[in-house]
Structure 1
Amino acid sequence: MTLRLPSLLFLTFFSTLGALWAQIPQVPSEMEFADLIVRINPQAKREIQLDVDALYRNPTYFKLKNDRVNLFMPIVERELRKQGAPDDLKYLVIQESGLIADAVSTSNAVGFWQFKQGTAEEVGLRVDGQIDERKNIVTSTQGAAKYLKKHQAVLDNWMTALVSYQMGLGGAKSYFGNQYSGKKVIEVDRNSHWYFKKYLAHKVAYEGQISVFASNQRLAEVQIQGPATFSTLAKRFGVSEDHLKEYNKWAVNGKVPAGSHTLFYIAAGSLPVEPAIVTTPEKKNSNTSTSSSSSAASSVYKQADSYPRISGNTTQAGKPNQIKVNDLDGVQASTATTQSQFADRVGLREKKLRKLNDLEPGARIETGKYYYTEKKKAKADVETHIVQPGETLWSISQKYGIRLASLKSKNRIRSDRELKAGMVLQLQEPRKRGEEIQIVPVKNPSSAPRTVIAQNNTPAPAQASPPPIKEEKTSSNPSYHVVNQGETLFAISRKYGITVEQLKSWNNIGSNNLISIGQKLVIFQP
């Protein structure tokens, strides 16, 4: 039978996408940054590579984040170029906020480039009751470029100038002295500043991904004259009011104040590099209700992409008092272990650790998972969460730092048996008595692109045999398997009639194929 062209293109696209995810970029021994040559010794390479691997750990979430990168990056590149700042600084905005307009750090830094209010005002950004330009991709990029150029003029080195973004000019001068002034070759080792090594990880991770499989959607920029409401502007540009609010969070009160301002919205096809000036209303044949629902769905998926929010010294995430998880003290498990051993490692009593993380007695501490060392919150920072295949009430509560009992109470759900993929769970306000839980379509994880690493650490193609389980024949309600002594991923996959790669994808198992006795694995059977 002859394969139709559209089907062939579809298969080619996903085959190429699979190959893309299969190859995690490797940290080189030498790379360029701004006007510098950066040489990285083997120990620092391993350390930076761990951060690169972490960024790629969930291919689906990485792609969602990369979609944001491709949406905003043309504007970031343009504004850096206008300010005469190095193009390489564009990776810093990914590191700082993940290109989330209203991101807020533990130190109350806000926006795309994470400015505190005082610093924002120093570089000419408007922050008041009507406008917060830290949430405007154009003006915040201009401010970041001015800030970094000012520090570079004093420090005479782009590496130290970049680190000064985290510790301030005074802190950088005190930390580095004059040892790097005018220097054009930088040696990176275990003693190099963690912030610069984290930056290098983001540069390595995203350098080859910008514009890869970017959609034909572009961020339109139009110059408008306020005051104006989003309701009126939505009709003018053929999008929903919620859509305009999503992409114009710089307008603090949900409306554009008096004066000339740049409005942003998503449009298909190529757009001018410079903002267009709109003086008369324009009408487009768009379905407003569809746009609204699409915007709402994308907003929820963005939440899944950006949580848990990790800040602090991520290179020491396995040690206590180094990182924040959703603005709470937390720690990452570097190895699978028992609650007792992990509690000793992080300086807590076992009972306290169990209570803070809603752990059942005997539950294993799993590699790579984040655990809290202070009490979780009664509600999350976002309103809703769409249940993904394989998730449990516990994993969702850990994801957002919300207490398990609170999550159950808000949604009137008692156990994982009641969870279904696509359920929209309440994370702030309780579900009203008698109110149905909304269910929206979600993709089964078996259809998501996967990272496949061969035993010799070279990229390997996706398995051709046995064939993958078709999504429509895979149950959306998971069962579970507890790992017994001597069991391997291959043995478990054969037992349930699935592939090893499906099992790894469903349970976020890395290329080392590491599982531990007592570990609870999610299984989606045909």
Structure 2
Amino acid sequence: MQVRKYLLLLCFLIGSVSLTQAQNITTAQYINTYRNVAIAEMQRSGVPAAIKLAQGIIETQSGNSWLVQNSNNHFGIKCKNNWTGASVNYDDDARQECFRKYDNATASWKDHSDFLRSNPRYGFLFEYDQKDYKSWAYGLKQAGYATSRTYPQQLIEVIERYDLNQYTLQGLGEGGALVKNDGPFIGDDQPVSGNIVNKVIPKAAPVNYPSGEFKINGRKVMFAPAGTSLVVLANDKDIRVSNLVHYNDLKDAVLLEEDMLIFLQRKNRTGANDYHIVAEGEDLHSISQKEGIMLEWLRKRNKLDEGEEPAPGEKLLLDGYAPAKPKLTASSVAIIKEEDQQPKDLNLKKLVRDVKDEISKAREGNVQGTPSATPAKSGPAAQETNSLPPQMVEDLKKIDGATVKRETMPVTRQPSAPSNTKYHTVQEKETMYAISKKYNVTVAQLQRWNNLPDNNIRTGQQLVVSQ
């Protein structure tokens, strides 16, 4: 009986020691264990070593998760229909999901490379520069590798914290690192110092978008090459041209001067990701298209005025509001709207209403024989101005003449045109596009010549078609 107790105690102690050791694997130890495997797999398959190491760290909790200890599965790859090997069940997105089980860690690392390389939905990733880990991180999320909204940010944070890009560079035979820590790691998450030698600024890598319609941030979108006519596209998709222009934050329906993502629905006010790191060559409009967020809201969330562009490497929030404006490019110039230039204490609409009230009162007074409040004037305007109080006359001087006319006498006038102007009367079922082709002009020109806000026209309407 006594011997049995000793045996049970010994088994308990051995189990406790094993468990303690399993739970004490540090991130630095995990990296040192698998960095050579990551480099070898990168050279074989093309998946960057930094990305593989970061994914392994996150998926296995630096080698401490139940799944990796019971299956050698370092990347959380599920069984799917094409897996015929051993497996284990583990609670993940759902209860007791099937995960692949490997004989050893190297087999898991190799299968992960083959999984990405052979799956068509990850094909575009291999167009990126292997050193561009940020594009790889966001691309993995875009392709649906993980369900976490912050998966790209987690990968990037791990890569930069542990200087993992150095292993990608070693695999390419370049040596040295773009981001370098000054000292060795002492335990988990404790570098001696973390001074960054060079800040990595990503370049906007080309993306092979699917043909036809697909979705970004839950909104329908398609890739349109340079030269695409928005008028023709709107007609093909049965969308009003004015809506298509509005959805994509464009000024008019001209031919596209460059390749562009074109949204077929209104973009969202927030992005699918938490933030976006500005790459070389990107501007706010291209970022709003890539992330599927309205340009207006991208500015609002980052305290940017129209005309201001963030500098490469800056972080733009796609959800919530930034505490401060990001650093701007040297060429940024804020565009101040005309209404913002008006004095804050001058309410033009209220002033115009007051003037109209005074004119009405003065007219009533003249009818009843009330003496004028100002000395008589001569000329055509005497009947209107002689009855105004002096202060109201001064107020009138403050108001732009065009503003007074716009507020008091709204009229619709045919736009002025030179003597060589040609006109066209809209026939039944005619469209702006058909008329533009008939007279060899653009839709944008027709809109400008006729002061049209969109492409809506009516039968019998007279349009300027040549100037």
| Structure with the larger RCO, 1 or 2 (CA within 8 Å, 6+ apart) | 1
Tell me if both proteins adopt one fold, taking TM over 0.5 as the criterion. no
More strand by share: 1
Greater Rg over alpha carbons, structure: 2
